[in-house]
Chains A and B, each alone.
Chain A
């Protein structure tokens, strides 16, 4: 199994416009096993998206180091696929060409082009491969953007609130879709979310982060059998446990997570 992530003593600061420093991450240590499904949850400003961007290699850490399979992360790579809340499909390319983008960029399209259709089928967009992004609904666009990241066979898939912009029903469908893809591919998944239910429903482990200073508050193992029921008593008790952690730490004056 590949796709083990190690984060060691990572500190990240941002300069504000008035030259004040904001500490986005203060000394994060984290290990994510290969093939694990992990959620990062917490209120705005807790640094969960920043941590994801560091793992992706889009930003560098000010202190500390990040590793994937014991290799230091220095820049973005196709090995760590990224899916944003906004699908960010290239509007000038059809769904097919969007999904083929990674293979073409890596110059392996000729030998691997069968993969493109395979992943379009996997996310259920077989009939839309010739459509342009503006012709797709939000859920379909997000599926396409999943296929685009998956076609590269990433070791780790980073999901930054991937379902945040979808309506409740599409969202629940997409959650099942994510689980199905994760089981089928065995890719390590790291997902940022605001939604406690979503985190418990999907993950092996929920990492709760708190702001000011942005740090990991607690890691909670979700030992529930899959497929999970959202109204299972254990599910509900985990849910209130996480909510309590976010409530009683005292650093958040106002609850700004979404229920």
Chain B
């Protein structure tokens, strides 16, 4: 990869600009108000020209760009090809495959409404997630440390846990006062199960000698639970949280498409029914970016909490 030129992304952007500028459009598409794809390409060209120039002076930038230049260049080429296939040649059905200009124009021009949808999705997701995660930790710790909790709750987890949270929709939507509380409950349920299972299994797997050592150091029962059991089970807990996060995204989207009357999932479903596929793609892009940011955040938190694990377990 070392021979890959730092200028590749910029070159790929120039190629795409030339194609978009020089090749004639097919007139099957509704034109967007502004050439947004061109704007995006110009921004990309600017960014990658500057980083290519900087790579001569700064080793960090050089390393960063050289590691990624081929990937970025190919990604821009891919957008270029999509542009050719849709806007330039119209090879795909126009209704389902709008131009990149159109999709970007939705993100720009519809941004207020999209932000509103995103924030209502976010509110729902976080409400459910917080309750689900706290409930999952609490149940997992109880099952992990208390024999009677294990006896009574474990079978319940085994029977109720594997049912996908979305399967409860018909029941939950009629038993909760609002669709918001109903959906928050479903999301909480989908986070709760993996968090509980991984927390308790993490605690079951803690080496008994840690508890023995801590008891000879003067630690009482609760000190052992929270200062030995919980930190030792923390790597498992994060796996549970990660699985729970993925499950919560699925539940959020399904809940919004089926019952809730706002949010980004609802937006996509609504636009689909209106046959406005540019809006559907815009919604999907926003979901992809948001969820990927959330997962990255979770990983950052994990790396900070589990700093002691570096060198013990590789991820």
User: Is this pair of chains taken from one and the same complex?
Assistant: yes
A contact set with B: CB distance below 8 Å? 56-58, 75-78, 80-82, 84, 86, 88, 90-94, 101-102, 104-106, 132-135, 148-149, 152, 158
Expressed in whole angstroms, the Cα–Cα distance for A56 and B234 within the complex equals 29
Q: Given A105-B217, A149-B217, are A91 and B308 neighbors across the interface (CB < 8 Å)?
A: yes
Which of chain A's residues have a CB closer than 8 A to the CB of B148?
A: none
Identify the 6 closest CB pairs spanning chains A and B, nearest first.
A78-B218, A105-B219, A102-B217, A76-B215, A82-B216, A106-B218
Per the CB 8 Å criterion, the residue count for chain B at the interface is: 25
| Cβ contacts A to B, 17 pairs, < 8 Å | A56-B212, A57-B216, A81-B216, A88-B207, A88-B210, A92-B231, A92-B232, A92-B234, A101-B214, A101-B219, A101-B227, A102-B219, A105-B227, A106-B218, A134-B308, A152-B217, A158-B216
Interfacial chain B residues near A80, Cβ < 8 Å: 216
Q: Known: A92-B231, A135-B311. Contact between A102 and B212, CB under 8 A?
A: no
- Asked whether any CB of chain A lies closer than 8 Å to the CB of B312, the reply is yes
Whether B171 sits at the interface, judged by CB under 8 Å, is no
A91–B312 CB distance below 8 A: yes
Bound Cα distance A156, B207 (Å): 24
| B64 part of interface (Cβ distance < 8 Å) | no
Q: Is the CB of B217 within 8 A of A58?
A: no
> Interface digits, B217-232 against A, CB 8 Å rule (1 contact, 0 not)?
1111001000110011
Report Cα–Cα, A149/B218, bound state, in Å. Answer: 10
Q: Take A90-B210, A92-B231, A92-B234 as given contacts and tell me if A132 and B308 are in contact as well, using a CB distance cutoff of 8 Å.
A: yes
Are A90 and B231 touching (Cβ within 8 A)?
Answer: yes
B214 touches A84 (CB 8 A): no
Q: Are B212 and A81 in contact (CB under 8 A)?
A: no
- Which residues of B are found within 8 Å of A84, using beta-carbon distances? 209, 213
B164-191 residues with Cβ-Cβ distance < 8 A to A are: none
Of A58, A86, A104, A134, the residue contacting B216 (CB under 8 A) is A58
Please give, as numbers and ranges, the residues of chain B lying within 8 Å of A101 by CB-CB distance: 214, 217, 219, 227
The reply to whether A134 and B312 contact each other, CB–CB distance below 8 Å, is yes
Q: Are the C-beta atoms of A82 and B227 separated by less than 8 Å?
A: no
Between A86, A91, A93, the greatest number of chain B beta carbons within 10 A of the residue's beta carbon is seen for A91
Other A-B pairs, 13, CB within 8 Å; known A90-B210, A91-B309, A132-B308: A58-B215, A58-B216, A78-B216, A80-B216, A82-B213, A84-B209, A84-B213, A88-B210, A92-B232, A92-B234, A92-B308, A106-B218, A133-B308
What is the minimal beta-carbon distance from B30 to any residue of chain A, in angstroms?
Answer: 58
How long is the Cα–Cα vector from A132 to B231 in the complex, in angstroms?
Answer: 14
